[in-house]
Amino acid sequence: MALILPKGYRNLLGNAANTEKAIPYVKDMFHDNLSAQLALLRVTAPMVVLSGTGINDDLNSVERPVSFPIKSMSDSRAEVVHSLAKWKRLKLAEMGVGPGRGIYTDMNALRPDEDLDNIHSIYVDQWDWEKVINRDDRNLSFLKSTVRRIYEAVKVTENKVFVEFPCIEPVLPEDIFFIHSEELLELYPGLSPKERENEIVRKHKAVFIIGIGGDLSDGKPHDGRAADYDDWSTENTYGYKGLNGDILLWNPVLENAFEISSMGIRVDEKALALQLAIRGQEWKKDLYFHRKLLAGELPCTIGGGIGQSRLCMFLLRKAHIGEIQSSIWPEGMRLRCHEAGIELV
C-alpha cells in the first residue's frame, strides 16, 4: 500500500521515551496471555537455517532469502529465516510434544523483498507459535476456537494497556467475525482482495478471513500462500476450501484493515501432496522437511505468526511500524513522516 500520513496525527504517549517503555509492556503482557490461552512453552529458535532443506518458508513463493556461505562447513549455504512454520513442526516432533500443547518463540527475520510502507519493514519480529493437535482436530470448528483464543489474548492485552495508559482507549469488539474468502468475493465481486478486506473489517472491526492460498471462483487466490505449511486445499464444513486464514483488525489511525496474524491448520500428507501438485512443485518432495512429513514422521499441528511490532503499533495507536522498531527506511519516507509528526526510530 502507499504511505499513509494521517492528518493531525500525534503520539498519544507524548514522546519517544514513553513509547519505549510501553513496547516491552505490551509484548510481555501479550505473550503471557497467548501462552496461557494456547498452552505454549517458549523455546529458543534459529535466525538462520541451511539452504536446500525445505525448512525455510517460501511465504508467497517469490521472496528471496538473505543467504551466505559458512566457512567452517565447506561453504555450505545458510539463509536467514522468513518465518519458522516448518522449523516449529520439526521441533515439536523432536521434543515429543503431545496433542493439546505447543511452543512459541520470538522470531526475527529479514525480508528484503518487502515493499516498505506503514506496516511493512525488511525486519520482521513476530511470535511464531505451533501446537500439536489430533488428526480429528483438522477441521473448521477447531480452527475457529483457536482464533477466538488468540483474539481473547489480544483483547485482554488491550484492556491492560488502557489501565496502564488511560489515554489509549479500547476499540476492539467483543467477538471476532468469521467469513470465507469466497463469501467475501461474493459480497464484493467488483473489488480487489484488499478493498474487500477494508469493507468487511470496517463493518465488523475484527475479522478472520478463512481460506487463503487456493484459487477462488474468479480463478485467483485471495492472497498468496506457500504450498507446504498452511492447508488451503482441504474442503471444510461449509463446502468451501481451506483450514487457514488471517486475523484483521480495524486500525483507527490508518483507517484500514490491519493484519496482525497469518495462521492455520498445517498440511497433512494428503494436503501437502495435493498442494505441491497444484503449484507444480512436486520436486520439493525430496527435501528434508517434506520427506519427513510425507512419511508420517511429523505431528499434525496448527500454528502461525503474530507480528510483534504490528501488535504494538496497533495497541499503542501508532501510524508507522518504524515508531516501534528500528529498521532501514528510504530517506524520502523519513522526511515525509517527520513533517507529518511521525518520528521513525
Rg of the chain over CA atoms, in angstroms? 20
Q: Say whether 308 is catalytic.
A: no
Written as nine digits, the cell of 205 is: 472491526
Catalytic one among 128, 182, 230, 246? 246
Catalytic annotation present for 111? yes
Catalytic annotation, pick one of 126, 181, 261, 325? 126
The secondary structure of 164-209 as a DSSP string is H-TTS-----SS-EEEEHHHHHHH-TTS-HHHHHHHHHHHHSEEEE
Determine whether 101 is an active site residue.
Answer: no
Q: What digits encode the pLDDT tens for the residues 99-134?
A: 999 999 999 988 888 889 999 999 999 999 999 999
List 106, 114, 117, 259, catalytic entry: 259
Q: Looking at residues 235-245, what average pLDDT do you find?
A: 91
User: Catalytic residue at 297?
Assistant: no
Confidence band of 345 (pLDDT split at 50, 70, 90): confident
User: Which amino acid, one-letter code, is at 91?
Assistant: K
Confidence label for 59 from pLDDT (cuts 50, 70 and 90): low
The answer to whether the CB of 78 falls within 8 A of the CB of 49 is: yes
Is 126 catalytic? The answer is: yes
| Per-residue confidence (pLDDT) for residue 67, from 0 to 100 | 87
Q: Which of 57, 58, 197, 230 is catalytic?
A: 57
pLDDT reading at 70 higher than 70: yes
Arithmetic mean of pLDDT over the chain: 94
Exactly one of 121, 181, 261, 262 is catalytic; name it.
262
Give the pLDDT score at 92: 98
Domains of the chain: residue spans and CATH: 16-339 (3.30.930.10)
All three cell numbers of 273, joined, read 501432496
What does the pLDDT average to over 14-33?
94
At 65 the pLDDT is 85
Element holding 163 (H helix, E strand): helix 140-164
Query: What are the residues whose beta carbons fall under 8 Å from the beta carbon of 22, sequence distance 6 or more?
Result: 13, 161, 164, 165, 312, 316
57 is catalytic: yes
Are 222 and 208 in contact by the 8 Å Cβ rule? The answer is no
